[in-house]
Structure 1
Amino acid sequence: MEQDLSPDVLMRRLKTGSVSPIYLFYGPDEFQLEFAIARIKEMLIPETMRELNSRSFYCDDDPGKVVFDALDSARSFPFLADRRLILLRRLEKLSAENLELLASYAKNPAESTCLICISARADFRIGFYKTMRSLGAVVSFRELRERELIPWIKERAGELGLRMGEEACEYLCQLVGVRLIDLHSELEKLSLRYGSSAIGVEEIKELALNSRIFSVFELMDAFSMRDRKKAIPVLERYIEEESGSRAWDLKLLGMFNRQVNLLLKSRALMRKGMTAQELASRMGLRPFQAQKLLQQSAKWQIPELIRALKLLYDADGLLKTGGDPPLVMKYILAAL
């Protein structure tokens, strides 16, 4: 049986100039999927001709007509370009009859067109999907596994001219999260700021220092480590940045509440002797996130965390009855 291509294999083939006349893209990782489409479009069509030589079709309404129009467009010649790109989205909406039309086209596609069929899921018991797999034209965009995340960051950083070690990559994940679209956005900012250079933790901190994301991250970190001396000035900076935003105080209170619940659950599992790896599996965290949570929860006792939840509940009542938000937030840090 033919194996589905991974996004990395697809990218390597694209770099050699190899673009198939038809693909099936499927899976939940929308960022990598759209990133691949953008690369193919850049390769196939000169910028000035892209609008005239690319079309998107959606299979939501009148799917029979949509498939007919998409295939008619795929068989048309490009306009002042060598290739054209046709996107047929939401294939999961199609009937077996419509999929059979696509299967027939897939066996003899127009060489001047790249037709990308996009589906949220794929059933390889069905003829069209079987045909695509036999052609080696299926790309699976599954979510990255833990062990793949850091290499992905390094590769994307390399494409932008950045050199990042594992420590810097892990810190970026802790700061931004694990959504690829957010990670790529931060890498682009690092590239614009530092150009082609080595990037370490300090460069990431410097870029993020005045950002709301960094302020929240630093505040939750200091709070979890019970570092009041560090937490108070970070809170003051956050208040200065966010005080004009709607309901900033209730949003921040929600973040505190979430963090305390994570610490409480981690502390309870820690008492059972769980390792960071076991904790990550149980709580749906990345291993480096679980390791950090274990270090933070070791600073607390379960009765203290239960008291913290009660304090946050009372703070919610104060805020909703006219309490001064900055004063309430500072009281939370002082009391815990």
Structure 2
Amino acid sequence: MAADLRPEDVTSALEKGRLAPFYLFYGPNEFIIERVLEKIRDKFIPENARDFNMEICYGGELNPSDIVNRAQSIPFLSANRLIILKKTDAYKAEQLNKFVPYLEKPVDSTCLIFLSEKTDFKNKFYRSIRAKGLAVNFSELKSYQVPPWIQSTAREIGLNIDRDACALLLEITGGGLRKIYGELEKLRLSFGDKKVKEADVRELAINSRIYTIFELMDALSEKKVAQMLSALSRFLDEEDKKSAPFQIIGMLNRQIGLLWQVKILAADNNRAGEIASKLAIAPFSVEKLMKQSRLWSHEGLKRGISLLYETDRLLKSGARTRPVLENLFLSLCTN
């Protein structure tokens, strides 16, 4: 059984002009899928020929035979055709198997990309693509993979950003790739080809709403109650009413996890640089976390995780957001 490809394997083949006639894109990392599809579109099909040679179809709306007929069509005013079939998993197993003969004899001038959210490799169709080594797994990035991704993505858009600036950007965004990309674009517009340093990212953050969540996490970690409640109030006023509470829960989960890990590593006599390397965060962030972690006991951090689960349950059951979150933050600070 062939190993699944990584997204960078596809973009590397694209740069060399060697795209396969079909791929299966699957996995939870929707943002990276979107980015790879954009690169394929821009490189594979000339802009003035896309109306004739690029199609986006949806599983369940067309018969598999219709998709195959389109894939077998000759390109017009271009060397290639691109067909993106979204929601491939909307087809039943017997319908998917109708694609298998095409997989055996594909048209080289067409790149047919199957996008699937629910991928069952027991099915002959999915199994056939994987056997040919053309299944691409878009898994979520591990925490240590995000800083290099930030730097490589910055280079792609023409932004020169140093390592500490990347680490701070990761910290203040909470690690969401879509949000990180948006902040990189802002930095590119602000700084052009000038090298972006940690102080530049911090200044951008202070002048944007994203700083409020960053300020909130620091105030909690240092148990500064008045500052914490003020930042919480501003964040709830500024952000989307539905998503803001769960953004806070996500960031709290990350922050408590970092405090716990730093506390354990520091107790084992690891220095700030060693901890930074192990946790893939900037050294200046580790130094701050080491000071903050001294204010917390292991029992308090463990209790904090339990409080997060309970708060998440209350919010999802329809409890009033502001008093629930205020009670959470005050409870966290009284451990």
Counterpart-to-counterpart distance in 2, 1:246 and 1:99: 40
> Does residue 257 of structure 2 align to residue 296 of structure 1?
no
Aligned to 1:35: 35
Report the 3-state secondary structure (helix = DSSP H, G, I; strand = E; otherwise coil) of the residue aligned with 2:51: coil
Counterpart-to-counterpart distance in 2, 1:21 and 1:265: 44
Aligned to 2:197: 200
TM-score between both structures, scaled by the size of structure 1: 0.72
Report the 3-state secondary structure (helix = DSSP H, G, I; strand = E; otherwise coil) of the residue aligned with 1:12: helix
> Does residue 94 of structure 2 align to residue 102 of structure 1?
no
- Superposed displacement of residue 146, structure 1: 2.5
Aligned to 1:211: 208
Report the 3-state secondary structure (helix = DSSP H, G, I; strand = E; otherwise coil) of the residue aligned with 2:64: helix
Aligned to 1:15: 15
Q: CA RMSD in A?
A: 4.5
- Contact (CA 8 Å) 2:259, 2:292: kept in 1 or not? no
Counterpart-to-counterpart distance in 2, 1:103 and 1:253: 43
- Contact (CA 8 Å) 2:29, 2:140: kept in 1 or not? yes
Counterpart-to-counterpart distance in 2, 1:151 and 1:264: 22
1:204/1:276 CA distance change after superposition, 3 Å: farther
- Superposed displacement of residue 55, structure 1: 1.8
Aligned to 2:6: 6
Which residue identity lines up with residue 97 of structure 1 in the other structure?
E
Counterpart-to-counterpart distance in 2, 1:15 and 1:257: 37
Between Structure 1 and Structure 2, how many residues are aligned? 306
- Superposed displacement of residue 51, structure 1: 3.3
Give the one of 63, 67, 76 matched to 2:64. 67
Which residue identity lines up with residue 50 of structure 1 in the other structure?
R
Q: Which range is displaced more, 172-181 or 75-84?
A: 75-84
1:164/1:262 CA distance change after superposition, 3 Å: closer
Counterpart-to-counterpart distance in 2, 1:222 and 1:153: 27
Which 5+ residue runs of structure 2 have no aligned equivalent? 271-278, 312-319
Counterpart-to-counterpart distance in 2, 1:87 and 1:253: 33
What fraction of aligned residue pairs are identical, expressed as a percent?
32
- Contact (CA 8 Å) 1:168, 1:201: kept in 2 or not? yes
> Does residue 44 of structure 2 align to residue 44 of structure 1?
yes
Which string of whole-angstrom CA distances, capped at 9 and with x for unpartnered residues, describes residues 195-227 of structure 1?
Answer: 123222111112222211112212321342245
Q: Which range is displaced more, 127-136 or 20-29?
A: 127-136
> Does residue 222 of structure 2 align to residue 222 of structure 1?
no
Which residue identity lines up with residue 40 of structure 1 in the other structure?
I
TM-score between both structures, scaled by the size of structure 2: 0.73
> Does residue 140 of structure 2 align to residue 143 of structure 1?
yes
- Superposed displacement of residue 160, structure 1: 1.9
Counterpart-to-counterpart distance in 1, 2:67 and 2:7: 24
Report the 3-state secondary structure (helix = DSSP H, G, I; strand = E; otherwise coil) of the residue aligned with 2:41: helix
Which string of whole-angstrom CA distances, capped at 9 and with x for unpartnered residues, describes residues 162-221 of structure 1?
Answer: 233332221111101112111112112211211123222111112222211112212321
- Superposed displacement of residue 241, structure 1: 8.6
Which residue identity lines up with residue 213 of structure 2 in the other structure?
V
Report the 3-state secondary structure (helix = DSSP H, G, I; strand = E; otherwise coil) of the residue aligned with 1:164: coil
Return the index of the structure with the highest Cα Rg: 1
Report the 3-state secondary structure (helix = DSSP H, G, I; strand = E; otherwise coil) of the residue aligned with 2:63: helix
Which residue identity lines up with residue 34 of structure 2 in the other structure?
E
Counterpart-to-counterpart distance in 1, 2:261 and 2:184: 36
Counterpart-to-counterpart distance in 2, 1:91 and 1:261: 34
